[in-house]
């Protein structure tokens, strides 16, 4: 799956150099830009498979670059941010970004996110069975096994788990989960989602309470560990 071209845009030369190293050693081809304008040019000319864009660029806000890119391309976009604030994250996602990573991040985290969004971009539509760290989700048979024991889920819990697991590693916003599981008219019913996530977590918990399959992005959404 490696070999994809990744466009990285950050005005800090050290970040560009470091990310080039990290992404190359993960098997990707890397294009770098230090300004938003240059990034847009390169995106148009070189046709990268995904873009990683810093929020603070010297010539224009990263959010604007993201929005412009999204206006003509479906390529996955990850936003890099040094500001760990919910509004900033929400604004980035609204401008068309698929995910964000807050500095300082470990390169492992960035590569995992990148892999997740590229996997989604090229994913085959039907995946009959998802296996993950002792958890087996059989999508066709609507059954879930944890460490060899069956987990009994309500239809709604199963639908929620399926959306999360199929998009594992990806940030799923509250409204997106609600729209996919309950329908678009439920997009604001966050308390409802919380109740079901809590139930799902309880049913997927192991005795030691250690493993947490469902991660929370405070105030934004959930992602399935993967």
Partner 1 sequence: MQSRALSPLLLRSPRPALTLGVLAAAGGTLLATLAIYPLERLAPTDSLGVVYLPTVIIVATYWGSGLGLVTALASGLAYNYFHLPVVGHLSFGDGVDWVSLVAFLVVAATAGVVGSLARARAAEAESRRREADLATEMARLLLGGSRLDAALAAAAQRLAVALNVASAAIELGDVGADERRLAFPLCDRDQIIGTLLLPVTLSTLDRERITGRIVPALQSVLAAALHRAELQAEVVETALLRRSDEMKTAVLRSVSHDLRTPITAIISAATALADDTPEAAEARAVVLEAARRLSRLIEKLLDLSLLQAGTRERRSVPYTIEDVLHEAVAHVRTDSPEQSFRVSLDEDLPPLAGDPAQLERAFANLLENAARYSGGKPVSIRAHGAGERLRVRIVDQGPGIRAGEIDRIFLPFYRSANDAPGHHGSGLGLAIARGFVELGGGRISVESLPGQGTSFVVDLPLAVPTERSVEPAQLELALPRG
Q: Which residues are at the interface with partner 1 (CB under 8 A)? A: 12, 14-15, 17-19, 21-22, 25, 56, 82-86, 103-108, 110, 154-156, 158-159, 180-183, 186, 188-192, 194-198, 201-202, 208-210, 212, 214-216, 218-219
3-state secondary structure at position 221: strand
Smallest gap from Cβ 47 to partner 1, in A, equals 25
Smallest gap from Cβ 126 to partner 1, in A, equals 12
Which is closer to partner 1, CB of 39 or CB of 160? 160
Which is closer to partner 1, CB of 73 or CB of 190? 190
> What are the Cα distances from residue 157, in Å, to 162, 183, 184, 198?
8, 14, 17, 10
CA dist 15 and 19 (Å) reads 6
Smallest gap from Cβ 1 to partner 1, in A, equals 20
Which is closer to partner 1, CB of 104 or CB of 128? 104
Which is closer to partner 1, CB of 8 or CB of 117? 8
Query: How many CA within 13 A on the CB side of residue 209?
Result: 0
Smallest gap from Cβ 30 to partner 1, in A, equals 12
Q: Are 142 and 70 in contact (CB under 8 A)?
A: no
Per-residue exposure over 26-46, b if at least 16 CB sit within 10 Å of its own CB, e if not: bebebbbbbbbbbbbebbeee
Show the tokens assigned to 117: 């969004």
Which is closer to partner 1, CB of 21 or CB of 44? 21
3-state secondary structure at position 173: strand
Smallest gap from Cβ 21 to partner 1, in A, equals 4
């Amino acid at each position: 799956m490696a070999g994809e071209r990744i466009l990285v845009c950050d005005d800090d030369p050290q970040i560009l150099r470091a990310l080039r190293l990290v992404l190359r050693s993960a098997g990707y081809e890397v294009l770098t830009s230090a300004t938003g304008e240059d990034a847009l040019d390169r995106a148009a000319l070189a046709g990268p498979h995904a873009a990683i864009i810093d929020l603070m660029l010297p010539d224009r806000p990263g959010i604007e670059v993201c929005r412009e890119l999204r206006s003509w391309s479906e390529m996955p976009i990850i936003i890099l941010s040094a500001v760990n604030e919910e509004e900033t994250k929400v604004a980035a996602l609204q401008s068309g970004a698929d995910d964000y990573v807050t500095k300082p991040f470990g390169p492992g985290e960035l590569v995992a996110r990148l892999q997740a969004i590229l996997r989604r971009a090229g994913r085959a539509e039907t995946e009959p069975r998802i296996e993950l760290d002792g958890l087996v989700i059989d999508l066709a048979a609507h059954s879930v096994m944890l460490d060899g024991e069956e987990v009994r889920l309500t239809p709604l819990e199963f639908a929620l788990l399926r959306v999360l697991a199929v998009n594992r590693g990806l940030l799923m916003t509250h409204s997106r989960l609600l729209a996919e599981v309950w329908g678009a008219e439920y997009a604001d019913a966050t308390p409802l989602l919380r109740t079901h996530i809590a139930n799902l977590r309880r049913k997927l918990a192991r005795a030691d309470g250690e493993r947490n399959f469902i991660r929370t992005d405070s105030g934004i959404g959930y992602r399935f560990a993967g």
